[in-house]
């Protein structure tokens, strides 16, 4: 479903979903937002024209009624990422210049995910920017 948003933003491209690995999914609570339940994930999709597989980042927000057919999830971001994209900073616990940012908010990075989750530039998604981090362990049930 995240690809629907991607195709809307990139009408010249056509990708077909291939798979997602369970340990590339992070669910967390973003207290700064009105609808706090967010999921970040990487998944693989194939370019229908070239056959090349690309890694995508998607951010889902559980904003709607859970009975709406998508379990209440709405896609709030979907972008192609690669090995050079920024990983999550959850485990690293490092901050730019080694100090906390004003309001403990870093618009460029995600502090909810582990480094293996690749993210587009920070403005491309809306949750995960709180440098104080997120509830520890709640995502473990999603890691095989």
CB 80, min distance to Zn ion, A? 16
Residue span 96-115 as binding mask against Zn ion, x where in contact by CB under 5 A, dash where not: --------------x-xx--
With contacts defined by CB under 5 A, how many residues of the chain interact with Zn ion? 6
Local structure of 140: helix, strand or coil: helix
Question: What phi and psi values does residue 5 have, to the nearest 5 degrees?
Answer: -65, -40
Query: Is residue 3 part of the contact set for Zn ion (CB under 5 A)?
Result: no
Question: What phi and psi values does residue 21 have, to the nearest 5 degrees?
Answer: -95, 140
Query: Is residue 128 part of the contact set for Zn ion (CB under 5 A)?
Result: yes
Dihedral over Cα of 9, 17, 37, 40: its sign? negative
Query: Is residue 81 part of the contact set for Zn ion (CB under 5 A)?
Result: no
Query: Is residue 61 part of the contact set for Zn ion (CB under 5 A)?
Result: no
């Amino acid at each position: 479903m995240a690809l629907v948003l991607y195709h809307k933003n990139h009408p010249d491209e056509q990708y077909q979903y291939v798979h997602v690995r369970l340990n590339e999914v992070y669910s967390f609570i973003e207290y700064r937002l009105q609808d706090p339940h967010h999921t970040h994930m990487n998944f693989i999709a194939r370019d229908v024209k070239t056959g090349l597989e690309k890694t995508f980042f998607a951010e889902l927000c559980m904003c709607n009624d859970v009975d709406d057919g998508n379990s209440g999830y709405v896609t709030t971001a979907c972008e192609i990422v690669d090995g050079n994209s920024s990983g999550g900073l959850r485990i690293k616990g490092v901050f730019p210049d080694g100090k906390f940012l004003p309001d403990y908010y870093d618009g460029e990075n995600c502090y909810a995910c582990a480094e293996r989750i690749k993210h587009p530039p920070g403005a491309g998604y809306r949750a995960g920017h709180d440098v104080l981090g997120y509830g520890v362990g709640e995502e473990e049930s999603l890691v095989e």
